[in-house]
Amino acid sequence: MVWFSGMWLAIGLLMIITLLFVILKNGLTLFWPSKVIQIELVEGSEAAIQGASTLAGEVRKRQDKRVLDAEGKAIPEVQLFVGNRDAYGFGFRYIDQSDIVSQTYPDDIIVAERIEYGDLIAYPVSLKLASGVIAADAPDFRERLDSLVSLSNERRHEIERIEKGKIGAINQEMQALKLSLRKAELGGGLTDELRSSVEAQTAVLQTEYEVLATEASALRAAQKADIFVCRLANGAEREVALGDLIHFYHPNELGFFPRVGHFFGGIWSFLSEDPREANTEGGVFPAIFGTFVMTLLMSLVVVPFGVVAAIYLREYSRQGPLVRAVRIAVNNLAGVPSIVFGVFGLGFFVYLVGGSIDSLFYPERLPTPTYGTGGILWASLTLALMTVPVVIVSTEEALAAVSRGAREASLAAGASKWQTIQRIVLPASVPGIITGLVLSMARGAGEVAPLMLVGVVKLAPTLPLDTEAPFFHLERKFMHLGFHIYDLGFQSPDSEAAKPMVFATTLLLIALVVVLNAAAIILRERLRRKYASSAF
Amino acid sequence: MMENTENLEEVKPMSKPSVSLPSSADSPPGTGPVRRPDYIQVRDFCFNYTPDVRVLHHITMDIPENEVTAFIGPSGCGKTTLLRNFNRMNDLIDGISHEGLITVDGQDIFDPNLEVISLRKRIGMVFQKSNPFPKSIYENVVYSLRIAGQRDKNILDEVVERSLKGAALWEEVKDRLQQSALGLSGGQMQRLCIARAIANQPHILLMDEPCSALDPIATAKIEELISELKEQFTLIIVTHNMQQAARVSDRTAYFYLGKLIEMDATKKIFANPGKKETEDYISGRFG
């Protein structure tokens, strides 16, 4: 029996470890800068791109073809990431091993990350600047390219600061003015004075906006001014505006340590940047942040809710058939499909509660909903509702485990029932309550289905927390790692290109849940040490 | 638990609590003869856990003030149940019922107008198993004051020192009052529970087999303490240990199967019991 039960445990562990290993391997290769190979094909190969028999790219996979050759032998093939999606119209190419005549690792080939169309894999030819042309064999070519790329990055951040920050703020002010007008109109207090003052203020904002817009478009023009000329592996020359490049490297020249540095740099930009190109490029920061904030909000709601319910069930209610029925119902609530909670959240929180809030407090914004649409608050509440049974059950167990001796000592000292619960029973139950919280966070953070109905979006332009008053924007829609995985894997236009991103995002979601749980467990251990005793 | 009396003689020398506890206002201890012999009155008291299970049958007794009264008897004879009725700790159990009357200081404790909490504030209790809270020694002692809303640090400090001295624990713990009470030894924990019970200056102290989980040395300390405490409190102690009852109590009540068989001065009970059952029990022929 020992062997039998041990075997099942081992199988379970093996499956988990394999899964983690697959996720780790696939997720981390996204950041590892692999070498770029140049391949010469035999004449007339199907893999030739635009008639040219030379290809360059990163080997992503080596496998056997699904079909066998005439003699029944397997045909090995290579999957090559060729990049240059704008030029070729695709990003990957499968090549039969037998079609390859020769392969080399050219030193001067570069891989450049762009804001559009994915990576560029090409040989540098020259730089067309306003001051003249610098050929790739010029001694200071690389330094010039480096400094120009970092210059264009700075310019891009400047544009973002102007467009998102300053122009965004002006837009908000204009919106607020418009709303104040509408409010006055609804309240019947609209006067000509008010209207003209609002119009005057709007005109001031409009001129401010025009100044900023001119500034931004000047910067945009500067982004397009300098041109990087390069030659693709098939011989075609292309011109790329320097403003489109984010960074570049020479994959075949990198030593081990620069490669590791590039790896961690890639991880960092994945964690800290906004997504680009329908989420298939760039980072996932808004999704991490959204998941984190949503899980915290959920915890803030679920703990008091669950603990109070458990106290009533365990300490105050008379233990009878009714309470038993309630307890069974609570336990079964944990088995209701999560999408049902999503539908409930949509109907109750979003339409009923949110709609009422809108018509009571934000009538001037209607028909545009403020709270009457999915948002991070409603998503958190929906998840709290979904995970509250877990907290109730574990809190009840913790309350039941507090010894009679402790309760009696408190009551005999003249404490009331509530004082006993508050000062003796609850502190001793805190570790159990946190166990419930850990379980509910693990379930809540990984949930996707109900969120799709109550506030998760593919791309949220703003975070639920920022520097604009009132800082917490709980009505905002948000991004979520779980939904991001679904979106990348099944909704993106180029799922092959998005595959490593799917694994990386999965890895991140697991890591986030582990971090949140570890924090809760550390807290629990500290409290447990504080209350540890044989008497309790 | 039956320990050797000779052993106890050896450990006798111990620090006696030097500070005298403030007396209860209505009966200055030792100064006047105002010791009411019927401070607690039990009249024809019956108690049922469920309608079918009667554990106390028509108990009638008077417990005098400022004396130590011991309840003895075999397990399951109802002595703890009676003790727990004095501060209505049995209220926690569903389905109980009672008949008859118990008064403390002339007041019916089952009077619906009486607040249980105020009753319990006048009656301290020490349990069989020491049950300090998972808090510091200091917080354990001041628990009853804290729940009553006392915040004055000076008063709390004073109460801690007085109560711990009263429980003969002050010298051992005065340097680590802020440490967890759970780090104390078994005997120290039980004395801490006594300190906690007397912190609120109750009139009555109930002790439910306070030494049953302690070694002879710790038991001797607690017994010494009981003799000191009776100057200030009316003590009722439930014990399985007849030598202990003989050593510490002034009066002894013998229970058997939920009935009070005999109650008299301890000396008389042990020297010349009035009933055959009592004699059988205390001489060890039965029980």
Adjacent-strand bridge partners of A37: A57
Interface size between A and B, measured as CB pairs under 8 A:
78
Each residue of B33-57: pLDDT tens digit?
467 777 888 988 999 888 888 888 8
Compute CA A310 distance to the chain's CA centroid, rounded to the nearest angstrom: 34
A422: closest chain B residue by CA: B147
A533: closest chain B residue by CA: B182
C-beta atoms of B144 and A415 within 8 A: yes
Each residue of A116-170: pLDDT tens digit?
888 888 888 888 887 888 887 878 888 888 888 888 888 888 888 888 778 888 8
Amino acid B281: pLDDT: 85
Each residue of A179-215: pLDDT tens digit?
887 777 777 777 778 888 888 888 888 888 888 888 8
A528: closest chain B residue by CA: B134
Rounded Cα gap, residues B160 and B156, in angstroms: 6
Each residue of A294-349: pLDDT tens digit?
998 999 999 999 999 999 998 888 888 898 999 899 888 878 888 999 999 999 98
A399 φ, ψ (degrees, to nearest 5): -65, -40
User: Euclidean distance between the first and final Cα of chain A, in Å?
Assistant: 34
- The yes-or-no verdict on residue B6 having pLDDT over 60 is no
Rounded Cα gap, residues B84 and B125, in angstroms: 9
User: Helices marked H in A334-415 — which ranges?
Assistant: 338-344, 355-361, 376-401, 404-412
User: Euclidean distance between the first and final Cα of chain B, in Å?
Assistant: 13
B143: closest chain A residue by CA: A413
Rounded Cα gap, residues B257 and B255, in angstroms: 7
Of B92, B127, B180, the CB nearest to A409: B127
User: Peptide bond before B134: cis, by omega within 30 degrees of 0?
Assistant: no
* Reported confidence tier of residue B211, pLDDT bands at 50, 70, 90: confident
C-beta atoms of B92 and A408 within 8 A: yes
Rounded Cα gap, residues A534 and A242, in angstroms: 70
Using DSSP, state whether A312 is helix, strand or coil.
helix
- For B33-98, the DSSP string reads S---TTSEEEEEEEEEEETTEEEEEEEEEEE-TTSEEEEE-STTSSHHHHHHHHTTGGGGSTT-EE
- The yes-or-no verdict on residue B17 having pLDDT over 70 is no
C-beta atoms of B121 and A414 within 8 A: yes
Q: Which two tokens stand for residue A337?
A: 């499909």
Compute CA A77 distance to the chain's CA centroid, rounded to the nearest angstrom: 34
Amino acid B113: pLDDT: 86
* Reported confidence tier of residue A468, pLDDT bands at 50, 70, 90: low
C-beta atoms of A409 and B94 within 8 A: no
Of A405, A415, A419, the CB nearest to B131: A405
Rounded Cα gap, residues A228 and A224, in angstroms: 10
B123: closest chain A residue by CA: A412
Q: For A184-198, what is the HEC assignment?
A: HHHHCCCCHHHHHHH
Amino acid A10: pLDDT: 94
Chain A positions touching B131 (Cβ under 8 A) are: 403, 405-406, 408-409, 535
Chain A positions touching B197 (Cβ under 8 A) are: 412-413
Rounded Cα gap, residues B261 and B277, in angstroms: 8
- Helices A192-225 and A168-187, packing angle to 10 deg: 160
The answer to whether B42 touches B109, Cβ cutoff 8 Å, is no
The answer to whether A395 touches A436, Cβ cutoff 8 Å, is yes
Interface of A with B in 450-479 (CB under 8 A): none
Rounded Cα gap, residues B273 and B266, in angstroms: 9
For B188-202, what is the mean pLDDT? Answer: 88
Of B118, B130, B147, the CB nearest to A423: B147
For A504-529, what is the mean pLDDT? Answer: 85
The answer to whether B164 touches B198, Cβ cutoff 8 Å, is no
User: From the CA of A416, how many Å to the nearest CA of chain B?
Assistant: 7
C-beta atoms of A318 and B131 within 8 A: no
Which helix (H) or strand (E) element contains residue A132? strand A132-135
